[in-house]
Amino acid sequence: MDLYEYQARDLLEEQGIETPKAIFVRNIQDVAQAAETIGFPVVIKAQVKIGHRGQAGGVKIAHNRDEAVQAAQQILPMTIHGHKVRGVLVAEAKNILHEYYVSISVDRTSRDFDVLATANGGTEVEEIAREHPESVKRLHISALDDFDLDAAMEMARSIGFYHADEAQAAQILLRMWECFKHNDATLVEINPLAKVGDPDDEASKHLCALDAKISLDGNAAFRHDGWAQFDDADEADPYERRAQEHGLHYVHLNGQVGVIGNGAGLVMSSLDAVSFAGQEQGTGVQPANFLDIGGGASAQTMCASLEIVLSDPQVHAVLINVYGGITSCEQVALGILEAIDELNVTKPLVVRFDGNAATEGLRILAQAQRPNIHVEQTMELAAAEAARLAADGGEETK
Ligand code: GDP
Ligand code: MN
């Protein structure tokens, strides 16, 4: 789960990393007041879960009330790289003397943690990294050893922090690591980690986190009260929300064929098979969703899955592709019938069973004699049938 900048900043501050004073506002009416509270000049920053806001015009400096309101008026209606702006952060503008980049992330290959850093931070960090790869340092924090102040000092030096910044940079690295661990993050990034202050006043110069990007590990939500404080009600897809409440892995895709299966790989293949069938048949029918009922799914799980998939009005037919392992096809069959009765399902359901209790499952479905259940022997045949039925608008012709 990705956080907005205004949320990520709070997590850095909790660990004692300095960020500029700032107020998050959702509406234009609140901008002037916020800017006056912070004091001019301010930076008005689009709150979206995507980077490169600056280059897209989503970060503007304002020197007075009118400029602040005008900047917010321009930024609030924006959609940046497909992400609708959810509000603006009104932040104290800092005088930037230098921009560093530092991030900590999970490294799945080496099964530890990566610290990526460069003394050439800021908006051009990717270009600079491409042209001068030697300027980007990649260091590791071992998953088993901890990371202490000595190691952080060593790291700050090797990253290329200016000598005057090393001690403070080491503190910040250590605090980023605390923030990373404490919040079960997969990414903590500060860009720019800026040296700010008055160029003529040595004592005023120090490092400040001007932008923050944090991603949290969704699998750890149970250790953090479900991260309720980061709940993004206006962003989440309503189908995905309900699926989450049932502990189902669902992704909404906007096509016409609902797809339910067990195991991510099997469901992905089913999506491909449906897309392929839609193309072959010349209808352009597409899958409506990804839904993995997981291993050992019960009849209730199947019933809840069908309810969510069928609540999407675009869905005209559903492909149920189950390879019984821990999951018993018999349970899945019972769930299908339960859903048909409870929800009064009339749309066609195309079923392909194999593996554990497939014969029993198919017998249960045959005995039930529901006109909208279609059984096929293979995934390809089932996908083709579901695509055909969906293209027909889901009307039963048999
Ligand atoms: P991003 O483009 O989404 O990464 O947004 P940032 O928050 O990193 O802002 C982009 C750029 O705007 C930064 O690299 C800075 O150069 C500039 N910027 C952001 N905050 C300030 C500030 O307080 N003062 C000044 N002078 N520039 C800022
Ligand atoms: Mn940035």
Q: The domain spanning residue 303 has which CATH number?
A: 3.40.50.261
Choose the catalytic residue: 5, 166, 189, 330. 189
List pLDDT tens digits, range 239-248: 988 998 888 9
pLDDT at 226: 78
User: pTM for this structure?
Assistant: 0.76
| Least distant ligand from the CA of 99 | 1
313 in the same domain as 329: yes
- Indicate the top mutation candidate among 43, 99, 187 to test ligand 1's pocket, ranked by most ligand atoms within 8 A of CB: 43
Q: Is 189 an annotated catalytic residue?
A: yes
Confidence band, pLDDT 50/70/90 cuts, at residue 396: low
366 in the same domain as 346: yes
Residue 9 in contact with ligand 1 by CB distance below 6 A: no
Residue 314 in contact with ligand 1 by CB distance below 6 A: no
Confidence band, pLDDT 50/70/90 cuts, at residue 397: very low
Distance (Å) from CA 272 to ligand 1 centroid: 42
Confidence band, pLDDT 50/70/90 cuts, at residue 193: very high
Give binding residues as ranges. Answer: 45, 94, 99, 191, 211, 262, 325-327
| Least distant ligand from the CA of 196 | 1
For residue 397, is it within any domain?
A: no
248 in the same domain as 177: no
Q: Is the pLDDT of residue 14 over 60?
A: yes
The least confident of 79-88, 167-176, 224-233 is 224-233
Q: Is the pLDDT of residue 236 over 80?
A: no
Beta strands, E only, 233-366 = 249-252, 257-261, 289-292, 317-324, 349-355
355 in the same domain as 313: yes
The number of domains in the chain is 3
Atom number in ligand 1 closest to CA 54: 2
SS (H, E, C) 335-379: HHHHHHHHHCCCCCEEEEEEECCHHHHHHHHHHHCCCCEEECCCH
Q: Is the pLDDT of residue 289 over 90?
A: yes
75, 92, 109: which is the final residue of a domain? Answer: 92
Pair of tokens at residue 57: 């015009």
List pLDDT tens digits, range 203-214: 999 999 999 999
304 in the same domain as 346: yes
Distance (Å) from CA 201 to ligand 2 centroid: 26
Report the CATH number that the domain containing residue 73 is assigned in CATH: 3.30.1490.20
Name the residue with higher pLDDT: 368 or 232.
Answer: 368
DSSP-based three-state secondary structure for 209: strand
57, 74, 92: which is the final residue of a domain? Answer: 92
pLDDT at 26: 95
Q: Is the pLDDT of residue 197 over 50?
A: yes
Q: Is 386 exposed, middle or buried (0-12, 13-18, 19+ CB in 10 A)?
A: buried
- For the segment 334-338, the average pLDDT, to the nearest whole number, is 96
Choose the catalytic residue: 101, 239, 250, 323. 101
315 in the same domain as 176: no
88 in the same domain as 100: no
Confidence band, pLDDT 50/70/90 cuts, at residue 237: confident
Q: Is the pLDDT of residue 195 over 60?
A: yes
| Residue-number span of the structural domain to which 119 is assigned | 96-227
Q: Is the pLDDT of residue 398 over 50?
A: no
pLDDT, the chain, mean: 94
Residue 53 in contact with ligand 1 by CB distance below 6 A: yes
